[in-house]
Amino acid sequence: MHNEGTGKIFSGMLEPDALKRSVVASAPPHLPTPCFPEVLGILLEDLLQREWSELNERGRNYLRWISVKAESIDSLLKAHSESPTLGFELLAINRKGSGFARISEECRELEVPSVLLRFSTLIVTFLTVRLLLKQMEEEEHEAPELIFTQNVDADYLNYPRTLQKVLRWFPECQKMFHFEVSELLTEDYVNTIHTLAEDLGIRFVLDDTNKMDVKVHQQLLKLADWIKIDFQATAKIEERLLAGDGEQILLHLELYAHGAGSPVIVFEGLGDDSPLKTFLQERWQTPETLLYQQSRERMPLPPWNRYFGLIQEYNPQEMGLFYKGLVLQNS
């Protein structure tokens, strides 16, 4: 698709009203999460022509039905705004609700290139966000300022022009979207990340910082808008708290917050009944750094509980949230 009308075709196809007509939900027993098989196939063919043309039909069909789940990121401290929800991390799922590890395994079996999987996930993320914002507008629910995040890896960083093209298709997402840089990223990509931040205005989150290479961590620290502490590190901090190290934990976190200069620290895997949450609610005294929690087991807070449901209610073996807009509209 390279004629002069391509841009107009894509623009019309991606309009919210057009998406409402093209979006479908998987039939039972699959999770009724929104999928965009026709639109996603067209965009991938234009975006990564060689990879798409060489892919077998089973692989193409698998990618067309990729969707996303969400994990809400909510204020750990007392609510300081109308909505305590800062945003959502969005992660790939298949029609059964299985996560990225299972999807990657199935893609290897189907000989799907990882770059196609990554950009499938990114595109369907942006499509889902656009659909959500359209539904909220129609229901006259003003959307609070919201941030969505997704992991970034070499498949994005090796294709900067492709990434730029996707961002042009979804300009509203560029303002509300942060990429999460994980511990897997090597020092070779630090300059690329700085270039993307400067040229495209992309914003970043440091994820799994306790596992990250020290040099990478130091070079990206000032660039990051947020810092995330992964669920394993969160569990270890809680173990230390229960062992009586509360004061040392508080001192360490305060020093870390000051050194990082980050306005946001997110604790992954922190449940509502966690002693660590209670401790930090009572003792945190560093107002320039706000604390948040992220857990795949939690129902979203209002108004987001209207738009997201629990995956585990459909598939007890999986956890997280799915956008249930299509269920609402068809009920």
In a domain, 279, yes or no: no
In a domain, 171, yes or no: no
In a domain, 153, yes or no: no
The pTM assigned to this predicted structure is 0.90
In a domain, 191, yes or no: no
Q: Distance between CA 178 and CA 317 in Å, rounded?
A: 28
Per-residue pLDDT of 155-207, as tens digits, reads 888 998 999 999 999 988 878 899 998 777 788 888 888 888 888 888 889 88
The domain tally of the chain equals: 1
Q: Which residue range forms the structural domain that includes residue 330?
A: 1-73+88-144+299-331
Per-residue pLDDT of 211-229, as tens digits, reads 677 788 888 887 888 889 9
Question: What pLDDT is stored for residue 181 in this prediction?
Answer: 87
What residues contact residue 192 under an 8 Å CB cut-off, 6+ apart? 157, 160
In a domain, 149, yes or no: no
Per-residue pLDDT of 39-79, as tens digits, reads 999 999 999 999 999 999 999 999 999 999 999 999 988 65
Segments of the chain assigned E as strands: 24-25, 34-35, 67-75, 85-93, 147-152, 177-181, 203-206, 224-229, 264-268, 290-294, 308-310, 321-323
In a domain, 208, yes or no: no
**Could you report how far apart the first and last alpha carbons of the chain are, in Å?**
38
Q: Distance between CA 204 and CA 153 in Å, rounded?
A: 12
Q: Distance between CA 269 and CA 289 in Å, rounded?
A: 19
Q: Which two tokens stand for residue 272?
A: 């509502």
Report the relative pairing of strands 85-93 and 308-310 from DSSP bridges: unpaired
Cβ–Cβ under 8 Å, residues 53 and 27: no
Per-residue pLDDT of 101-132, as tens digits, reads 999 999 999 999 999 999 999 999 999 999 99
In a domain, 159, yes or no: no
In a domain, 3, yes or no: yes
Cβ–Cβ under 8 Å, residues 85 and 300: yes
The fraction of the chain above a pLDDT of 70, given in percent, is: 92
Q: Distance between CA 131 and CA 20 in Å, rounded?
A: 7
> In angstroms, what CA-CA distances link 64 with 1, 41, 43?
18, 6, 10
The dihedral region occupied by 261, where left means phi > 0, alpha psi between -120 and 50, and beta the remainder, is left
Backbone angles phi, psi at 272, to 5 degrees: -65, -30
What residues contact residue 50 under an 8 Å CB cut-off, 6+ apart? none
